[in-house]
Amino acid sequence: MRKISEECGVFGIWSPERKPLPFMAYYALLALQHRGQEASGIALNDDGIIRYHKGLGMVDRVFNREELEKLGEGQIVVAHNRYSTTGMPIPNNAQPIVVRHSKGNMALCHNGNLVNTYQLRTALENEGCIFHSTTDTEVIAYLITKERLHCGSIEEAVAGMAAKIEGAYSLVVMSPTKLIAMRDPHGFRPLCYGVMEDGSVVVASESCALDAVGATFIRDVKPGEMIVIDGNGIRSDERYCGKTETSHCIFEYIYFARPDSVLDGISVHHARIEFGKYLAKDHPVDADVVVGVPDSGLDAALGYSMESGIPYGIGLLKNKYIGRTFIAPGQEEREKLVRIKLNPIAETVRGKRVVLVDDSIVRGTTSKRIVRLVREAGAKEVHMRISAPPFQNPCYYGTDIDSREHLIACQHSVEETAKIIGADSLGYMDLGHALEVVQRNCPGRGYCTACFSGNYPTEVPPEGAKSRFEEKIRKEKS
Amino acid sequence: MRKISEECGVFGIWSPERKPLPFMAYYALLALQHRGQEASGIALNDDGIIRYHKGLGMVDRVFNREELEKLGEGQIVVAHNRYSTTGMPIPNNAQPIVVRHSKGNMALCHNGNLVNTYQLRTALENEGCIFHSTTDTEVIAYLITKERLHCGSIEEAVAGMAAKIEGAYSLVVMSPTKLIAMRDPHGFRPLCYGVMEDGSVVVASESCALDAVGATFIRDVKPGEMIVIDGNGIRSDERYCGKTETSHCIFEYIYFARPDSVLDGISVHHARIEFGKYLAKDHPVDADVVVGVPDSGLDAALGYSMESGIPYGIGLLKNKYIGRTFIAPGQEEREKLVRIKLNPIAETVRGKRVVLVDDSIVRGTTSKRIVRLVREAGAKEVHMRISAPPFQNPCYYGTDIDSREHLIACQHSVEETAKIIGADSLGYMDLGHALEVVQRNCPGRGYCTACFSGNYPTEVPPEGAKSRFEEKIRKEKS
Amino acid sequence: MRKISEECGVFGIWSPERKPLPFMAYYALLALQHRGQEASGIALNDDGIIRYHKGLGMVDRVFNREELEKLGEGQIVVAHNRYSTTGMPIPNNAQPIVVRHSKGNMALCHNGNLVNTYQLRTALENEGCIFHSTTDTEVIAYLITKERLHCGSIEEAVAGMAAKIEGAYSLVVMSPTKLIAMRDPHGFRPLCYGVMEDGSVVVASESCALDAVGATFIRDVKPGEMIVIDGNGIRSDERYCGKTETSHCIFEYIYFARPDSVLDGISVHHARIEFGKYLAKDHPVDADVVVGVPDSGLDAALGYSMESGIPYGIGLLKNKYIGRTFIAPGQEEREKLVRIKLNPIAETVRGKRVVLVDDSIVRGTTSKRIVRLVREAGAKEVHMRISAPPFQNPCYYGTDIDSREHLIACQHSVEETAKIIGADSLGYMDLGHALEVVQRNCPGRGYCTACFSGNYPTEVPPEGAKSRFEEKIRKEKS
Amino acid sequence: MRKISEECGVFGIWSPERKPLPFMAYYALLALQHRGQEASGIALNDDGIIRYHKGLGMVDRVFNREELEKLGEGQIVVAHNRYSTTGMPIPNNAQPIVVRHSKGNMALCHNGNLVNTYQLRTALENEGCIFHSTTDTEVIAYLITKERLHCGSIEEAVAGMAAKIEGAYSLVVMSPTKLIAMRDPHGFRPLCYGVMEDGSVVVASESCALDAVGATFIRDVKPGEMIVIDGNGIRSDERYCGKTETSHCIFEYIYFARPDSVLDGISVHHARIEFGKYLAKDHPVDADVVVGVPDSGLDAALGYSMESGIPYGIGLLKNKYIGRTFIAPGQEEREKLVRIKLNPIAETVRGKRVVLVDDSIVRGTTSKRIVRLVREAGAKEVHMRISAPPFQNPCYYGTDIDSREHLIACQHSVEETAKIIGADSLGYMDLGHALEVVQRNCPGRGYCTACFSGNYPTEVPPEGAKSRFEEKIRKEKS
């Protein structure tokens, strides 16, 4: 069950010929919808002219055929799905950001969070810059623009900008003639590229978006690498590669990414199966059926079943028609109406000892409800297994985890938590084992585990900086 | 994969006190959304005053908080999800139908199709009746109204009407003071009822809607039974029960109903698991993994895996963000873009011999695409198993099956079909075994298998009657 | 200033060839928008197929290019603007009403109110008829349908229906092949027809709609006349002509109709100028400027100026951007904010003795505000002249006049009224003189003056019938 | 008839207490709607927090009650109606512009056009500024921001900015605590202020907006004056006053402003009456009736009638229901359908010699149609009188006049023009007489007459600068 805010999805195509690329971008955004559902946008470059459309809401709310047709044809397109990890959902924060600067038009799409935004923004304001949004992305746009004044090319300006920012960024930039993709040296957020039969080059947050548009996956963008695509082909600039150890976000594998994506060489589905197997090894239990909480607990449940030999069962049905516009019942009815979104299949759990596998516990309230549902459907025992280690720390790289005071794992022991959620037993994923899974074929590769371990791979913003900035942000709303 | 038109979902509540019942109806309609996605509506009875709202589109398009609040409070509510099995989606065809007649207001919701509509409608027209819609339901409304002129009560009028109509009907009627539920003597379409803690009585097409509103399932409405609910309690009228053998639609178990529903005493999920087991027995194959086509092939795939011992795998991911407003690619792109809706998880199928389980094959085009997807993802062999017998006949009871000329099973042998869809082997469910599953605990109970067997439990409309009527219908559109 | 509910506008075209007639209907509805702003609709007959679209709201809300194009081409079109004189604005009450009956499809548009609706409706209900709306028009549809069962043609059925209904009706009926226009024998509401260069025949409530579509006015439909238009030409059926004295609604000239229309041979603009002249003769005053309250007081003000020799001035400006969606200020601000809709031009009235001409006083509150506005802008004296006699009686023929208890003319003498609204003097139009104006060129022609005189040209509904029926109506709302 | 693009309307309130000011702004925007119909916006300052809403379309499309309520209460509000005189209607160009800079939030509203935009913008871009819109207003925002870095207050920063810009600007600026209104030293565009009973101070483009919110007009803002309003009262800064001769736009009196407004001491209605009188003196004709083309020709027609003694008539009716969403007929139908928007009242013109008074002739096509309409309605002669001198030059100060090649007055003599539009005679307003009218009570005051005379009161942008910039602008569209 989704209990954590998603982040963003970025996408871009460079095509050797003028084409109705916004349609391709639309299909790609649908494939990346799980990464952000608050706003979406597409910007097209038609011979130096940028046309764009963006708005609050999911892709199919923001775009219809007419809007896509109005964007027309061009050679480059960039697109973005947004989940606002900073501030409120306001129209000005939707991406791509499209600006005009001294050397022409530019559009930017960004996934991730910088850790030195506040300093950079203050410095820019002190030079007389004005901000229309509250996003990191507008800071990046200014830095590129300032660099561009004395750089010979947009790619040099992007490289110059990269020397100044720190934190997580998977970035797609469109200039009048180029498509540029850049990933921060830590490689926090995923970014990959592929090619199409007609010679088009496609960049995307996840490989599933390449699949959606019929592109063939070539490889991940390397941490620190900048890829420049234009009429002269694809060039790689590795000047920032290897400057630091990589720290890929391990939570992408646990929860964010789509199971059919392959990130940095590792299949998300495979990783989840393996997480489930370790869960079975580390937290075995005598039971009759293993049930995954849809959608993101299903893979690990299957892994648990494989390893333990306990049969896999389909025991919870998620109502797929409940979307963002769902009118939730009032508090007093909510207790009764838990089964609107998720209904147990009594046939599967009745009279059984059930292993229930979910991807995370945040506050514990959802888990408590699900355990009760399964019990009411007749389960004799409910053993909860979580395919992630306990959340105990904030993330500064683009994930919106609840504050410590609400995180059940910060307040309670595993035993207490089991009691609170009403489970007969509870087992979390062991962080070491999780790392083992994602390092198996690439020994020594670094991962960011800060939300679990508290080990931050970068300096983090000064205490309170974020909240002070967010207080300022809070003050504006469209 | 859904390739067949759904039918409708009906729902009603009688409450001992005035309450904001439209919210409950909204939750129930969301639970029944799979039964019809073309129109939805809710009608509330507030002390004899009927307020209603209905429209084209899925529940969350037609209703928002404001609309639900405008409907207000009352003691009775009826609601409907529609898939137009006859004619085009036109606003006038949305239900509930609300009419005023000599004895007050009335609202009707209907699931099923009559087989003598054309005769009844012509007779009514010849008496000077005018029709605003093209639905069977307006015919039923007239018949009840005419009966009511000389009957002492609405329930007598409904009973009188029932003597005249033939075919499939699960009906919910709201009068100024009563909620009436009636099911045709064959019991084609499901209908059940339950109670809530506060004494409310709830009727619904499937038990999952009772779960959604927190009601406790009491029992199915019997074939031919009429249930009358008002301030005097619940009364059952069985005058039409036992008049004929039952013929529950077997396809409800295969495809229509939600797996967490229990229809006429049989869990849908359980039935599908059992169908999968028989598939494994009847069509065994040497393979490495069993993959279900989401969503409706998953249960049978699990059953196949259980029986065969071949591991169950999650091998296809369905994009859950693609809804009714999806802008499909043009024909020439479609071939490339098959992976927007459904993407294989290569990890699961690569290098494997795959058993692919789906619920049905209609024209074969979708199956062909899925088989190719799985092969392109690296499967060595693809063995298709279908948890339904071959479709070969039209349905006159509320299901919109393609015409014979398009049904691949009418045109080709199993071997030819396998070749056409590109599968290494193909196996259909055996009808006898399917019946065995649903009769196991209720020997001798009758099922309608007409779409597979051609054995119709009623007279069917004269050849061409439907198409002639639909030609007339075609002529109007809002 | 509009203080009285408008009624309806009807329109139809028969064309010798298939054309995109909905666009013509759209222009005509815009020209008739002043007659009804609550709902509008267009129904097209394309070789027997009726396609229609209707909805709540003004024409430009209900229709856009896409909707008009979807209706397509055909040979007959009918259209309607509605102001609901009975019951609430509910979607089901929008016209045209489109029904299917024993002899095919039919669409109806109606302007006026019947006086024997309640009896007719009850009789129909007692025969088993069901009603989807609360309009007279559905009653008329049933009556035509019943007649059609034993009549050889639709025109005979319409004639048969006309024998049964009483009251005000200007009716446009579309059958699969014919366009029929009929006006009640009293001729309460206007109806006229014209021809276009391509041989099309056009019927409309007012001649301004003929102008809008480029048709040449031929003549008014006579009271009691039925006009039948089809491939065989135009036929007139006068069987009901001369059955009774005519009683054209005099209030059409005072207020309802557009000044550029000519009704039953009399120019509305001319009539209003003449009303103003009589006002000057009957209620002279020593003043400096004559100011009309826009829009409907302007013509009479000009007439007053002509007759009196007092200069005509433009002294009040109406904000033309304030439409139906205007968000009115709360009660406490309203006093301050009177100038949003209407602002005095101080230049015109400052230091002057002003004759202020308006078309009517209903409750007196609007007049009071306008008088104050003009005084605050510097007028020394304000003399109110009303180009209608005092309202004192309800209308049963399609106008929604306030109830007697609210009519200031029922409660107060002219002198009291002048004091209440703050005018230095007040003069109403003399009914005899008003009749003189509209009878000048057609001596002896009868007019309905019931709202002023209480002389009803027909029997009126039994006391309370309307309110009892409206109570029933009140109980339903979509 | 409106044939020329409008410009913009600005508005602001400072209130001593927190209030729901957005509602007041909404009423004011409705009063200023005639100045711009392409976009509108409101920004509220609630204790330093700025909340805003803006969008494309007229006020009643962009705002509903919910949006106004969401903006909430505050002490300062600014609002804007926009007609895009530069570039296309794109959402980013809507105002108020709301930005965050080093010293907090700021919102700006601007009416007018700068003549040194291109230089300023290029200089800013060369310092690394990025632009989100194509408006002058964003340039102004940057200049204020840059000044603010080294100025002690926002008003000093605004003054500093004013030293750098040239051209037409009536500006309203909102800082966290202040409302600032400033008018350029030429006084091109109007700007005035007033007070309310509760001590609020209101600034607006025209006095009619003060009337709309119940404020009492105090005086016009002087050319070059800056007014600063905050908790310490109202301060006037006249440092730029008298730096140059004034050059009020004379076209405001002829066409732009509302007749009930008083601009720089002159009633617009009065000026138009006087223009009409001079027209009668300069271009007398023997005729029977004087008819104004609604709405903006009515006042001058009345003046012509007064001076000439020829009776004033109401001879053309404008359909007030035709708004921005009107679906225009195709070219071939347009000739026939001229009477949709404007219909002659035949009664007034039939058999008469008509003096037709309109406010301007641009291309001549509209005038040609109107003359034909009046002739077809039976006029014997049509004498056209135009209450403006001939248009012959572009405007650089905020008015969007057609290019010279399309201006009929640049291509043809008066006699030729009369022939082209089909008039029996044609007379334009004499520029000297027009100036006499607006200078009568303020001798020596300067007016901008550039569009008529070609005498520009400032340097104008270099040849082609505008079109080159607009070419760049053209390249972006949302």
Mean pLDDT of D120-129: 94
Contacts of B333 in chain A (CB under 8 A): 23
Q: Do A130 and D101 touch (CB under 8 A)?
A: yes
Note whether C307 and C301 are within 8 A (CB): no
Q: Do D345 and C260 touch (CB under 8 A)?
A: yes
pLDDT at position B475 is 52
DSSP SS3 for A152: coil
Q: Do B327 and A270 touch (CB under 8 A)?
A: no
For D184-216, what is each residue's pLDDT tens digit? 999 999 999 999 999 999 999 999 999 999 999
C151 and C285 assigned to the same domain:
no
Whether residue B295 has a cis bond before it, omega within 30° of 0: yes
C443, part of any domain: no
Q: Give chain D's largest Cα–Cα span.
A: 73
Report percent pLDDT > 70 for chain C.
92
Q: Do A141 and D125 touch (CB under 8 A)?
A: no
Structure confidence at residue A414 as a pLDDT band (50, 70, 90): very high
Number of helices (H), then strands (E), belonging to chain D: the values are 18, 24
What is the side-by-side order of every strand in the sheet holding C39-46? C49-56, C39-46, C74-82, C9-19, C201-204, C192-195, C216-220
pLDDT at position A199 is 96
**How far is C240 from C246, CA to CA, in rounded Å?**
12
Q: Do A64 and B259 touch (CB under 8 A)?
A: no
Contacts of B317 in chain A (CB under 8 A): 208, 258-260
Q: Which of D32, D83, D319 to mutate to test the interface with C (most CBs of C within 10 A)?
A: D319
Q: Which of B15, B19, B27 to mutate to test the interface with A (most CBs of A within 10 A)?
A: B27
**Å between D269 CA and nearest CA of chain C:** 7
Which of A217, A247, A277 marks a domain boundary?
A247
Residue B428's nearest CA partner among B392, B386, B393, B391 is B386
Q: What share of residues in chain C are helix, strand, coil (percent, to 5)?
A: 35, 25, 40
pLDDT at position D1 is 45
Residue C420 tokens read as 């209440």
pLDDT at position C108 is 97
Dihedral, B168, B170, B175, B178 alpha carbons, nearest 10 = 140
For A255-304, what is each residue's pLDDT tens digit? 999 999 999 999 999 999 999 999 999 999 999 999 999 988 999 999 99
Residue A26 tokens read as 């639309």
Q: What are phi and psi of C169, to 5 degrees?
A: -155, 125
Chain C contact present for D347, CB below 8 A: yes
A177 and A274 assigned to the same domain:
no
pLDDT at position C1 is 46
Question: What count of residues does chain B have?
Answer: 478
Contacts of A157 in chain D (CB under 8 A): none
Which residues 385-404 of D are in CB contact (within 8 Å) with C?
none
Mean pLDDT of C362-366: 90
Domain span including residue A40 = 9-247
Q: Do A475 and D49 touch (CB under 8 A)?
A: yes
Interface partners of chain A (CB pairs < 8 Å, 3 or more) are: B, D
Catalytic status, residue D8:
yes
**How far is B279 from A30, CA to CA, in rounded Å?**
35
C259, part of any domain: no
Q: Do A478 and D52 touch (CB under 8 A)?
A: yes
CB atoms within 10 A of CB C74: 24
D210 and D309 assigned to the same domain:
no
Which residues 225-284 of C are in CB contact (within 8 Å) with D?
258-260, 262, 267, 269-270
Q: Do C132 and B98 touch (CB under 8 A)?
A: yes
D124, part of any domain: yes
Give every CB contact of residue D152 below 8 A, 6+ residues apart in sequence: none
D295 and D221 assigned to the same domain:
no
CATH number at residue C37: 3.60.20.10
Q: Which of A59, A213, A312 lies closest to B312 in CB terms?
A: A312
Note whether B187 and B222 are within 8 A (CB): yes
Name which of A215-219, D83-87, D368-372 the model is least confident about. Answer: D83-87
Domain count across chain C:
2
Nearest CA in chain C to B100: C131
Interface partners of chain C (CB pairs < 8 Å, 3 or more) are: B, D
A455, part of any domain: no
B100, part of any domain: yes
Q: What is the DSSP string of D418-463?
A: HHHHT-SEEEEPPHHHHHHHHHTTSTT--EE-HHHH---SS--PPT
Note whether C256 and C249 are within 8 A (CB): yes
What is the side-by-side order of every strand in the sheet holding C97-101? C97-101, C104-111, C170-174, C179-183, C226-230, C233-237
Q: Do D23 and C345 touch (CB under 8 A)?
A: no
Residue B421's nearest CA partner among B359, B379, B354, B362 is B362
pLDDT at position C2 is 44
Give every CB contact of residue C15 below 8 A, 6+ residues apart in sequence: C21, C75, C76, C198, C199, C200
Residue D106's nearest CA partner among D148, D69, D72, D135 is D148
D288 and D378 assigned to the same domain:
yes
Note whether C246 and C221 are within 8 A (CB): no
A454, part of any domain: no
Q: Which of D99, D126, D474 lies closest to A149 in CB terms?
A: D126
Residue D32 tokens read as 């200023």
**How far is D203 from D221, CA to CA, in rounded Å?**
9
pLDDT at position B448 is 97
C310 and C196 assigned to the same domain:
no
What b/e string do you get for A324-353 counting C-beta neighbours within 10 Å, with b at 16 or more? Answer: eebbebeeeeeeebbbbbbbbbbbbbeebb
Note whether A254 and A430 are within 8 A (CB): no
**Å between D260 CA and nearest CA of chain C:** 5
**How far is D181 from B449, CA to CA, in rounded Å?**
80
Residue A144 tokens read as 């590129």
Query: Measured in whole angstroms, how far is the alpha carbon of residue A106 from the centre of its chain?
Result: 24
Contacts of A145 in chain D (CB under 8 A): 128-130
**How far is A157 from A152, CA to CA, in rounded Å?**
8
**Å between B16 CA and nearest CA of chain A:** 17
Which of C436, C451, C466 marks a domain boundary?
C436
Chain D contact present for C312, CB below 8 A: yes
Q: Do A327 and B269 touch (CB under 8 A)?
A: no
C-alpha distance from residue C315 to each of A326, C297, C298, D27, D215 (Å):
53, 12, 11, 21, 20
Q: Give chain B's largest Cα–Cα span.
A: 73
Mean pLDDT per segment of 10 residues, for chain B of length 478 residues?
Answer: 65 97 96 92 93 91 92 97 63 87 93 93 94 91 96 96 97 97 97 97 98 96 98 96 95 95 96 98 98 95 98 96 77 72 96 97 92 96 97 88 85 97 98 96 89 94 68 48
C162, part of any domain: yes
D208 and D120 assigned to the same domain:
yes
| H or E element at residue B105 | strand B104-111
Q: Do A105 and D145 touch (CB under 8 A)?
A: no
Contacts of A131 in chain D (CB under 8 A): 99-101
Note whether C82 and C64 are within 8 A (CB): no
**How far is B63 from B29, CA to CA, in rounded Å?**
11
Chain B contact present for A212, CB below 8 A: yes
Contacts of C34 in chain D (CB under 8 A): 321
Q: Do D130 and A478 touch (CB under 8 A)?
A: no
Q: Do C31 and D213 touch (CB under 8 A)?
A: no
Q: Is 60 exceeded by the pLDDT of residue C144?
A: yes
pLDDT at position D148 is 95
Residue D451 tokens read as 């569009």
Contacts of D98 in chain A (CB under 8 A): 132, 476
A352 and A212 assigned to the same domain:
no
Chain A contact present for D150, CB below 8 A: no
Interface partners of chain D (CB pairs < 8 Å, 3 or more) are: A, C
Q: Is 80 exceeded by the pLDDT of residue C476?
A: no
Give every CB contact of residue C271 below 8 A, 6+ residues apart in sequence: C253, C254, C437, C438
Mean pLDDT (chain D) is 91
Model pTM?
0.90
Phi-psi region of B48 (alpha: psi -120 to 50; beta: other; left: phi over 0): left
Q: Is 70 exceeded by the pLDDT of residue A473?
A: no
For C372-388, what is each residue's pLDDT tens digit? 999 999 999 999 999 99
Residue type, B213: V
User: Regarding predicted confidence, which is higher, A327 or A363?
Assistant: A363
B25 and B74 assigned to the same domain:
yes
Mean pLDDT of A227-237: 97
Q: Do A129 and D129 touch (CB under 8 A)?
A: yes
Note whether D111 and D205 are within 8 A (CB): yes
Name which of B271-280, C30-39, C464-473 the model is least confident about. Answer: C464-473
A286 and A352 assigned to the same domain:
yes
Which of C215, C247, C279 marks a domain boundary?
C247
Q: Which of B211, B313, B333 lies closest to A339 in CB terms?
A: B211
Q: Which of A29, A314, A338, A342 to mutate to test the interface with B (most CBs of B within 10 A)?
A: A314
Nearest CA in chain C to B473: C49
User: Regarding predicted confidence, which is higher, D465 or A398?
Assistant: A398
Residue D470's nearest CA partner among D410, D412, D403 is D403
Residue type, D239: R
CB atoms within 10 A of CB A263: 25
For A112-125, what is each residue's pLDDT tens digit? 999 999 899 999 99
Residue B170 tokens read as 């699960």
Q: Is 70 exceeded by the pLDDT of residue D468?
A: no
B443, part of any domain: no
Contacts of A311 in chain B (CB under 8 A): 306
Note whether B325 and A64 are within 8 A (CB): yes
Chain A contact present for B59, CB below 8 A: yes
C310 and C367 assigned to the same domain:
yes
User: Active-site residue numbers of C?
Assistant: 8
pLDDT at position D192 is 98
Q: Where in C115-158 does DSSP place strands (E)?
A: none
D300 and D374 assigned to the same domain:
yes
Note whether D374 and D348 are within 8 A (CB): no
What is the side-by-side order of every strand in the sheet holding B425-428? B312-313, B289-292, B353-358, B381-386, B425-428
Block residue for tokens 């005899």: C432
pLDDT at position D139 is 96
CATH number at residue B372: 3.40.50.2020
pLDDT at position C292 is 98
Residue A390 tokens read as 């306990």
Question: HSE (CB half, 13 Å, CA atoms) of A417?
Answer: 26
Residue type, D349: V
